[in-house]
Amino acid sequence: MKSRILLLLLCVAFPIAACEREERNTRPDPTLGSGGQGVPVTTLAPGGERPAISDTKASEFEGNAYHLSEGKRLFDWFNCSGCHANGGGGMGPALMDDKWIYGGSIESIHATIRDGRPNGMPSFRDRIPDDQIWELAAFVRSLSGNAPKSAAPSRNDNMMAHPSENRLPNATTLGKSP
Amino acid sequence: MRPPTGRIAGAVLLAFILSGCSGVQSALDPKGPAAVELARLIWFFTVLCAIVWVLVMGTIAAILLRRRQRRSDPLRIDQPEERMVSRVVISAVGATAFVLVALTLLSFFANRTLAGIGENAGLTIRVTGHQWWWEVRYENAEPSRILTTANEIHIPAGEAVRFVLQSDDVIHSFWVPALHGKLDLIPGMVNTLTLRADKPGIYRGQCAEFCGAQHAHMATLVIAEPRAEFDAWYAEQLKPAAEPSSDEQRAGHDAFLNGPCVMCHRIQGTPAGAVTGPDLTHIGGRQTLAAGTLKMTRGNLAAWIADPQGIKPGSKMPVMDLDGDELNAIVAYLESLK
């Protein structure tokens, strides 16, 4: 009798466990451009990485499927491909390789979009709301296999310039034997 | 006898239900040849199928309720009765076939009428579905006379208009019940639909294919007006946006151009030229806001800009950080763009 009740409880618990959906925060703290992240006072840093200032948003956005797909949409809408050509690079540097001139962490990419970089990358401060910059930064990381497969955007509806982001090899294990 | 309150309640309920059959968005209140044809089909199919249903149910009930005759020998075949049974079955099958063929022919001829409307359409309007609004582009051989607007479609009354339907993201469906049936907007494919509004009037349309969180808030207004009024409207829409005329409007103009609005919206005559959001060149002259979600008033415009995600959660318009003065100024400027 007891085991039957236990079985019944398990049967209920399993479907209920599936009820939790990923949070979609469409109404973020309305901060524009500046965000909560500090601005570095020096450009002198090893490997071009800015002094490590972590932001709570970094972890919130990095593995979130909704934010990644919104980032993909914004990448298209704001014409990032005009210079970065779907991540392959053109007038601007390629985004799908493992080379980062100004750092490959999400904070660095956020700062690159927000504040701009020498030789062409414009600043989008006050143009793109801060949360959208985080979404773009998270998507840019997924272009080089730096996003969890379970969250990265899947295939395009139109022409595919490269394999979809969730099919790219994982950057952390690429080229290494286990 | 039933108490009179019950009867009154019944009558009120019936009145409520029937009131849904007319108005700006009803297929049963047709205002164009295509919709008239479709409404005729709806009524004919419904009435005929109701009659058939009543006949079938009545026959079954009669058979079930009939007293069974006791037969001395159940295995004996009664020739006259057998003949009658086969006659009934054959005539029922014949009647069914006749009804089906008749309905097929009716729908064929109705389709032929619908196809015939488009033979001499003078105006072509390209409607692109976006999550969750309609982009409306009036095609013209002369590039300077191509007009782009959003969510509100003006057409000349009494003239056939060709709609070229396409989608930018997911499948939507264009449905203005008083003027025509539904037709899908499919990514990577172009559908065309031709309709005519017989009389001037405002006909509401609605996306009729589930397209995401805000599918219900994706409406459009088709405004049919006499040719002269339509031409005047068209000429007015082709002009660039009005210059700001007061200090507040000027402040709004500057705040708009220096803020994040320009990443998605266009106001012709200013440097704002993005095409991912609705064109705002003449937004003050439209009747609704956010694809039919709100009436166009100054208060609603301010509410929409201040908190679009509270009004239409999931919409692609982000929440922005504007202080009260900036918000008021932007609203004053946009409202002046008649």
What pLDDT, on the 0 to 100 scale, is given for residue B178? 93
Tens-digit pLDDT profile for residues A110-148: 889 998 888 889 999 888 988 899 999 999 999 998 998
Pick from B66, B192, B52, B79: nearest CA to B127:
B192
Q: Where are the domains of chain B?
A: 25-60+82-234, 247-336
CATH class of residue range A69-149:
mainly alpha
Pick from B308, B292, B298, B306: nearest CA to B331:
B298
**DSSP 8-state symbol, B320:** -
Residues of A in contact with B264 (CB under 8 A): 77
pTM of the predicted protein model: 0.83
Does residue B39 register a pLDDT over 90? yes
Residues of A in contact with B310 (CB under 8 A): 27
What is the SS3 assignment for A97-125? Answer: CCCCCCCCCHHHHHHHHHHCCCCCCCCCC
- Is B198 within 8 Å of B31 (Cβ atoms)? yes
d(Cα A172, Cα A104) in Å, to the nearest integer?
Answer: 12
Would you call A31 exposed, middle or buried from its count of C-beta atoms within 10 A (0-12, 13-18, 19+)? middle
Q: Under the phi-then-psi rule, with left for phi > 0, alpha for psi from -120 to 50, and beta for the rest, what region is B142?
A: beta
Of B260, B276, B313, the CB nearest to A32: B260
Of A28, A77, A132, the CB nearest to B276: A77
For residue B258, the number of C-alpha atoms closer than 13 Å in the C-beta half-sphere is: 11
pLDDT band per the 50, 70, 90 thresholds, residue B149: very high
Question: Could you give the ipTM of this predicted complex?
Answer: 0.78
What pLDDT, on the 0 to 100 scale, is given for residue B298? 94
Q: Does A129 touch chain B (CB under 8 A)?
A: yes
* Average pLDDT in chain B: 90
Q: Give how far B30 is from chain A: nearest CA, Å.
A: 37
Tens-digit pLDDT profile for residues A33-45: 455 566 555 556 6
- Is B164 within 8 Å of B127 (Cβ atoms)? yes
What pLDDT, on the 0 to 100 scale, is given for residue A44? 62
Residue ranges of alpha helices (H) inside chain A are: 2-17, 56-62, 65-77, 81-84, 106-115, 130-142
Helix (H, G, I), strand (E, B) or coil at B245: coil
CATH class of residue range B25-60+82-234:
mainly beta
Q: Does B184 touch chain A (CB under 8 A)?
A: no
Size of interface A-B (CB pairs under 8 A): 44
Q: Give how far A152 is from chain B: nearest CA, Å.
A: 19
What pLDDT, on the 0 to 100 scale, is given for residue B1? 46
> CB distance A126–B314 less than 8 Å?
no
Q: Give how far B129 is from chain A: nearest CA, Å.
A: 15
Using alpha carbons, list the distances in angstroms from residue B161 to A136, B195, B198, B204, B284: 41, 6, 12, 16, 25
Residues of A in contact with B314 (CB under 8 A): 24, 26
Superfamily the domain B247-336 falls into = Cupredoxins -  blue copper proteins (2.60.40.420)
Residues of B in contact with A133 (CB under 8 A): none
Q: Does A155 touch chain B (CB under 8 A)?
A: no
Q: Does B273 touch chain A (CB under 8 A)?
A: no
Tens-digit pLDDT profile for residues B314-323: 899 988 888 8
Residue numbers of B between 311 and 330 with CB closer than 8 Å to A = 313-316, 318-321
With CA atoms as reference, the chain A residue closest to B277 would be: A77
Residues of A in contact with B321 (CB under 8 A): 30-32, 129
Instruction: Please give the average per-residue pLDDT across B264-288, as a whole number.
Output: 93
> CB distance A30–B319 less than 8 Å?
yes
Of A26, A27, A129, the CB nearest to B260: A129
> CB distance A27–B259 less than 8 Å?
no
What pLDDT, on the 0 to 100 scale, is given for residue B118? 73
Q: Where are the domains of chain A?
A: 69-149
pLDDT band per the 50, 70, 90 thresholds, residue A168: confident
Q: Does A30 touch chain B (CB under 8 A)?
A: yes
Of A26, A30, A73, the CB nearest to B314: A26
Q: What letter represents residue A90's amino acid?
A: G
Per-residue DSSP letters for B112-128? HHHHHHGGG--EEEEEE
Q: Does B310 touch chain A (CB under 8 A)?
A: yes
**What crossing angle do the helices spanning B298-306 and B324-336 adopt, rounded to 10°?**
130
Residues of A in contact with B313 (CB under 8 A): 26-27
Q: Give how far B321 is from chain A: nearest CA, Å.
A: 5
What pLDDT, on the 0 to 100 scale, is given for residue A33? 47
d(Cα B188, Cα B185) in Å, to the nearest integer?
Answer: 9
Does residue B308 register a pLDDT over 70? yes
